[in-house]
Amino acid sequence: MQVNNVPASYGLLAILLHWVVAFAVIGLFALGFWMVDLSYYDDWYRRAPDIHRSIGILLFALVAFRLLWRFISPSPKPIATHKRWEVLSARVAHMLLYIVVFVAMVSGFLISTADGSSISVFGWFEVPSVTGQIKGLEDTAGLVHYWSTWALVVLVSVHAAGALKHHFFDRDETLRRMVVPARGND
């Protein structure tokens, strides 16, 4: 199996990064959606946000690495049967996904550190506040976080629908390229 991307297909590392990020984003959204309704006396009241923040910090590092990897090992060339508007819309969608996921993660970080406190990542290390105490920052960041995560859900849904359209209707290699790693001779 090829680790790097090749002109016709994604390599193993790009595929693993894609799916780990995808499942983490979906899991974080589900956890966040569930935890906002927890009461003070619920066993998960403190534990769920700690898990959410810890995974969010690790996801930030993973997405930053994924973006770096795109420069080191460029994406495969578009499939020859794709129309120009499909190629352009895919590029715009990927760019928007990166922007919105970073906005969601940064705003989440700002919610938790607006009072000057750091975030403990599973007790392994701490990420300090970069703002110190800023009155009202958590409210503004909370609003940005709320809307950016819903925008992310919409974009992820459109992205998944596009991949399924290519797989089931167009019957091309679009989805398969993100599931089956390139072989050494591709």
Q: Is the pLDDT of residue 184 over 70?
A: no
Residue 6 resides in a domain:
no
**Residue 158, in any domain of the structure:** yes
**Mean pLDDT, residues 92-98 taken together:** 95
| Enclosing domain of residue 85 | 12-177
In a domain, 186, yes or no: no
- In the chain, what percentage of residues exceed pLDDT 70? 98
List own/partner pairs for 171-178 with CB under 8 A and 24 or more apart. Answer: 172/79, 172/81, 172/82, 173/9, 173/79, 174/79, 174/82, 177/8, 177/9, 177/10, 177/76, 178/10, 178/15, 178/18
Total domains in the fold of the chain: 1
What's the pLDDT score for residue 133? 86
On whether residue 170 sits in a domain, the answer given is yes
Domain of 90, CATH number, reads: 1.20.950
pTM for this prediction: 0.91
Query: Does 184 map to a domain?
Result: no
Q: CA 147 to CA 145: how far, in whole Å?
A: 6
In tens, the pLDDT along 120-166 reads 999 999 999 998 888 889 999 999 999 999 999 999 999 999 999 99
Q: Is 82 among the domain residues?
A: yes
Averaged over 173-185, what is the pLDDT? 85
Q: What is the pLDDT of residues 38-68, one digit of tens each?
A: 999 999 999 999 999 999 999 999 999 999 9
Q: Which helix (H) or strand (E) holds 119?
A: strand 119-121
Whether residue 182 lies inside any domain: the answer is no
Residue 123's pLDDT is what?
96
Residue 97 lies in a domain: yes
